[in-house]
Structure 1
């Protein structure tokens, strides 16, 4: 059944919008006016639904009621935008930007960020809330409208196109889809926002051939509230439109402007605002920016911040700006004029200020130049080929002066005059274009081809050695299915690799073509390693292969079993892979000598399967000899290959003997340390997890117990939150019991507990509170526990699990009162980890506490790097990381790397 309406939704950082086409009456997209609360007791319909969320107080729910929700827990839209910022603990904004933040768990309740508030929601839930509001508003207006079959035209049954930034990675796109499905939607297609803006232009300019000639190109500059996207569209020689390049992900937009103004205001106020005050100030900056840009008569504007307290006037800070000062901040910081030979923008992730991983370089013109250079590389040109036309999109580009700045900059680079295309409206074009795209897919409009610019190959094994098979020829169109007629053998329930290769120059290869391993003009991309689950045992099954690429630049490969109805999907994010391919800091692929690995396998089997005591004791030395490499030189890749060999053994048989059991845990833990750094560590721990419920087999053997907990500590980074919580409660119970524990066992229990960084915040607060009474008499293991559990910058946990600063400050103060004669490096590590500067308002300790910590460390001659971490934004060296980790770091593993 086809739906009556094609609906396009712009799920924006600052605003959402919805457009639709009623296929029974018209082929022209219409904008939908969204009902929303605008003030107490007032509702209004408008095209934009501001992407702001406010959690209602119970006594105001009736005043903020909607037609479909008489007692709302949350309201979004105009009311939240206008009034929510005054109550930062109830106010959520920029939820869409959080969908791309890799350092937090985006499906956990973390917003509003930095507020110690019991009632929070996840970025996915916030995005879903905006979509639910659109669904309810639509169903109120169109719920009684019927299609040809007499069914009500509720939104969830229509053909839906939801837009995302062109630069969203695969995870962010998946989370966007999840938000849509959680909102009750069923049929959803994702479309890139710049492409949607171009479809909007095509819909308005149906005679587009009069403007765009064969061989000409259109640059799309899309600067929204949260992201900046650049795309290039080309008119090919046959008159077809083709998208040829897309820029990298840039978390840079109107939000950054607001924050820059807010920081300048804080500087002028000559005081440090706390997190709540800063959140309010940022919203004040947004309002000031919008007022200055929308009204040329505004010459002076005040930003106000209320710091709380009983006196409204005493708690109020007023910071004055004039019009030109606001404009200078924007023009000079975000649209500066640069020379064509300017250096590349600094795109290192490093340590960030504020909450989100914003771009280090805010100059949009600098990122645009970088995109044009990259576009030339893709086209194998020696210099930039400047486009003839430019199309602007996004709310940030509404002011004419910003667009003029970009146009003048491009003209100065090219020495020509670029033509600016008209837009439907920079804040509504994406929604309008999304429904226009739906029309084009139905054959009712011009379609922009996104045929891929490369051929893609998988490396396979054959009787004649390694070969390449073409799975996707160059110029394949989006959504077309490519089917290989070859039959492959697939190993299930085991970690296998799918090495992906590409070529920009091989034009004649067809799907299914087999190439020799010495084929020219083929470059390697990052391999995808995974485990195909089928049955319970490792087995070989026959499969066929088919592939497709979607408009979001994901290569999807399906493995279809021939003898059953099973199929498995592999997904490669092509844009991310090509960015890595051209990255200066791309890591060199580490290979393992298979001949030497076979010798190591024989030594492992000889020791454990034959239960040879002598071989067990000398196993690590034997492995060094087999691999012709000292253990300190073993890479993460090599360690994990050895771990796989150990996990293939009969663990139940090994556990029957105490000495064998202890040795197995010891060596497996060494190979698995630190539990992350390899994409399949979680798969390995899944194979080990069933033994958690059984516990140590030889329960009275102290070495077995000690090595058991050492193993779990070393694997902790691969354990889920639920598993860590379960383990943490178990360990805490053991440590809290009145029974006497072996000192070595007690030590390893504490170290394991400290390494469980994903254990709940409430639980860790409780554990750390138990140290308060003897804070000046803690042993080194307990100090290490605190250093891990209360760190401002965890080793592997997401930032949303960092303990609130005020919950740990008292303990830190007491630790610093330890007798100076009893201070050790572990005291210094503990204090530096608790007090580390991150420049994230929500995570950092108050400045007075950090000053106190810095004095304590300096006075007691702590090492320089401990003091630096408190005072500066610095990365830890390998020695410090190993100390924090409690283990040596395998070669190839880098902590704190986004």
Structure 2
């Protein structure tokens, strides 16, 4: 009796309390145009038990972003593992989807040309003691090859389906239950332009690709984050065919950048940006096309939020050399490296570049802008004295566009869109730039007012905020020009950016449902 009592106290041999899984869990599948559920784990399955799904084989996509959708049911249905069942909203609750990239194993190919590899697998499932549903995808031809998915279920059973959809920002090229109803048609359109095969698509059709997508999906400004990432994943899988023509390259760069902006905010965005960065060393196929260069720089500006410091420094080095070449060129035309304005906007978006680089670039730009203003004033005075016409040429003097002040505002901003506070320029440097802005006529130089607001706004951090007297000067000027009340509030208190401010700061609207937090 004593021996039995001692044995009952050993770990694992004493009495345990547990009734198995409290719910049944199902993987959602599209079958013949309708959504069905494959039972992964029936209600009552003991924790730690591994279940095979007999007679079920699946094609598993490797090396690309994919989503897995789950549903649960707490009823007493006598479902079996591997059983396909019809779903209804009364008994089944949708759970948040899992986004994943399952890497190919050795020998299955990991390059750009083999991203769409598939392998035939069977599934094994197991509920752990901590409430995680593990799904093992086991290769049929080699059981030693496994890919594991882990769904955190503890507390998820109470989730409502609309809450699951709201939190599902994933973006695999998924035509499953939460996809846009016309996504399949949009993917077919991308396949026609960028897909395999030798079919010829007229240049006009390529140029109208974006318009065709908007006819299917609605205005692109309203495309949700999940839809944008699904389109990007489809474009990424077809990246090799962007080089078919100058029109193909331009359309691909434009759409890919738009669908990935701002490079962060959705699950797997770090993977997407890493895959996109593999294309950077390849450069442009049609480098003689200035419009392609503009789309190239715009692509990297839109993806900048997901780039690391080293990648941003590499971009800055390339763009900086090109900018220097442009401003020192004595030729009438600039080198074919795209729009000067596009490159400046890209530089402003590189918020992970150390502050010393940002300060140097901003000082260079402010100096050129001040010389432009002086040259413009002298030309205007001379023209009036001669009663001549406005618009005299500067005679080789710096001619920075007024939009460059927007770039100065981004470089000197007190609040980062996605970077770290340590990369912001010092208050002393920012104050010097603000003085240059205060010397302008804000009614004539449209970007100057908002640039001053970005530099002088309240961040809530005394170490980076400007002295109060500078904020007061900016506030007085804003009142004079009847600036939006929000801009004035930003000088009195810390304000989280709204959609209108984000459009001004970022350069375009962010995807619906995505808001960058002030840093």
For the criterion TM > 0.5, the same-fold answer is yes
Taking the aligned partners of 2:48 and 2:14, their CA distance within structure 1 comes to 17
Find the residue that maps to 2:357 and give its secondary structure.
helix
1:711 aligns with 2:299: yes
Q: Could you tell me whether the CA contact under 8 Å between 1:783 and 1:826 is conserved in 2?
A: yes
Change (3 A) 1:875 1:518: same
Find the residue that maps to 1:587 and give its secondary structure.
helix
* Residue 546 of structure 1: aligned partner: 124
1:612 aligns with 2:202: yes
Equivalent residue for 1:760, pick from 341, 349, 354:
354
* Residue 592 of structure 1: aligned partner: 181
Deviations 1:283-320 (A, max 9, x none): xxxxxxxxxxxxxxxxxxxxxxxxxxxxxxxxxxxxxx
Find the residue that maps to 2:96 and give its secondary structure.
coil
Q: Could you tell me whether the CA contact under 8 Å between 2:418 and 2:518 is conserved in 1?
A: no
Q: Could you tell me whether the CA contact under 8 Å between 1:502 and 1:524 is conserved in 2?
A: yes
Q: Could you tell me whether the CA contact under 8 Å between 2:442 and 2:449 is conserved in 1?
A: no
Q: How does 1:206-355 map to 2 (within 5 A)?
A: none
Q: Could you tell me whether the CA contact under 8 Å between 2:366 and 2:433 is conserved in 1?
A: no
Q: CA deviation at 1:499?
A: 0.3
Taking the aligned partners of 2:219 and 2:513, their CA distance within structure 1 comes to 15
Q: How does 1:491-570 map to 2 (within 5 A)?
A: 491-506=61-76, 508-518=78-88, 520-534=90-104, 535-536=108-109, 537=114, 538-550=116-128, 553-564=131-142, 565-570=144-149
Q: How does 1:463-482 map to 2 (within 5 A)?
A: 465-474=34-43, 479-482=48-51
Taking the aligned partners of 2:307 and 2:123, their CA distance within structure 1 comes to 33
Taking the aligned partners of 1:464 and 1:758, their CA distance within structure 2 comes to 46
Q: Could you tell me whether the CA contact under 8 Å between 2:217 and 2:223 is conserved in 1?
A: no
Q: CA deviation at 1:739?
A: 5.0
* Residue 150 of structure 2: aligned partner: 571
Find the residue that maps to 1:529 and give its secondary structure.
strand
Find the residue that maps to 1:678 and give its secondary structure.
coil
Find the residue that maps to 2:496 and give its secondary structure.
coil
Change (3 A) 1:693 1:563: same
| Unmatched runs of 5 consecutive residues or more in structure 2 | 1-7, 168-177, 374-399
Deviations 1:847-871 (A, max 9, x none): 4544444334334432222112222
Q: CA deviation at 1:507?
A: 6.5
1:786 aligns with 2:408: yes
1:622 aligns with 2:192: no
Q: Could you tell me whether the CA contact under 8 Å between 1:580 and 1:586 is conserved in 2?
A: no
Taking the aligned partners of 2:491 and 2:9, their CA distance within structure 1 comes to 57
Q: CA deviation at 1:455?
A: 3.1
Deviations 1:377-425 (A, max 9, x none): xxxxxxxxxxxxxxxxxxxxxxxxxxxxxxxxxxxxxxxxxxxxxxxxx
Q: Could you tell me whether the CA contact under 8 Å between 1:721 and 1:759 is conserved in 2?
A: yes
Taking the aligned partners of 2:295 and 2:219, their CA distance within structure 1 comes to 22
Tell me the C-alpha RMSD between the 2 structures. Answer: 3.9
1:442 aligns with 2:11: yes
- Greater share of residues in strand: 1
Q: Could you tell me whether the CA contact under 8 Å between 1:809 and 1:849 is conserved in 2?
A: no
Taking the aligned partners of 1:710 and 1:634, their CA distance within structure 2 comes to 19
Change (3 A) 1:470 1:846: farther
Taking the aligned partners of 2:429 and 2:94, their CA distance within structure 1 comes to 48
Taking the aligned partners of 2:356 and 2:17, their CA distance within structure 1 comes to 52
Q: Could you tell me whether the CA contact under 8 Å between 2:475 and 2:488 is conserved in 1?
A: yes
Find the residue that maps to 1:754 and give its secondary structure.
helix
* Residue 725 of structure 1: aligned partner: 313
1:658 aligns with 2:262: no
Q: Could you tell me whether the CA contact under 8 Å between 1:497 and 1:529 is conserved in 2?
A: yes
Equivalent residue for 2:23, pick from 446, 451, 454:
454
Taking the aligned partners of 2:408 and 2:156, their CA distance within structure 1 comes to 39
Deviations 1:250-288 (A, max 9, x none): xxxxxxxxxxxxxxxxxxxxxxxxxxxxxxxxxxxxxxx
Taking the aligned partners of 1:606 and 1:458, their CA distance within structure 2 comes to 30
Q: CA deviation at 1:521?
A: 1.4
Find the residue that maps to 1:813 and give its secondary structure.
helix
Q: Could you tell me whether the CA contact under 8 Å between 1:603 and 1:619 is conserved in 2?
A: no
Q: CA deviation at 1:708?
A: 1.1
Change (3 A) 1:474 1:693: same
| Unmatched runs of 5 consecutive residues or more in structure 1 | 1-438
Taking the aligned partners of 1:843 and 1:582, their CA distance within structure 2 comes to 43
Change (3 A) 1:480 1:815: farther
Taking the aligned partners of 2:34 and 2:456, their CA distance within structure 1 comes to 56
Q: CA deviation at 1:617?
A: 2.9
Taking the aligned partners of 2:448 and 2:265, their CA distance within structure 1 comes to 28
Q: How does 1:88-487 map to 2 (within 5 A)?
A: 442-443=11-12, 453-462=22-31, 465-474=34-43, 479-485=48-54, 486-487=56-57
Find the residue that maps to 2:148 and give its secondary structure.
strand
Change (3 A) 1:620 1:642: same
Q: Scaled by the length of structure 2, what TM-score is found?
A: 0.74
Q: Scaled by the length of structure 1, what TM-score is found?
A: 0.45
Equivalent residue for 2:439, pick from 818, 827, 847:
818
Equivalent residue for 1:809, pick from 412, 427, 430:
430
Q: How does 1:55-66 map to 2 (within 5 A)?
A: none
Taking the aligned partners of 1:844 and 1:855, their CA distance within structure 2 comes to 18
Which moves more between the two structures, 695-704 or 473-482? 473-482
Taking the aligned partners of 1:582 and 1:606, their CA distance within structure 2 comes to 35
Q: Could you tell me whether the CA contact under 8 Å between 2:312 and 2:352 is conserved in 1?
A: yes
Q: CA deviation at 1:752?
A: 1.1
1:678 aligns with 2:257: no
Change (3 A) 1:828 1:483: farther
Taking the aligned partners of 1:452 and 1:871, their CA distance within structure 2 comes to 55
Change (3 A) 1:585 1:464: closer
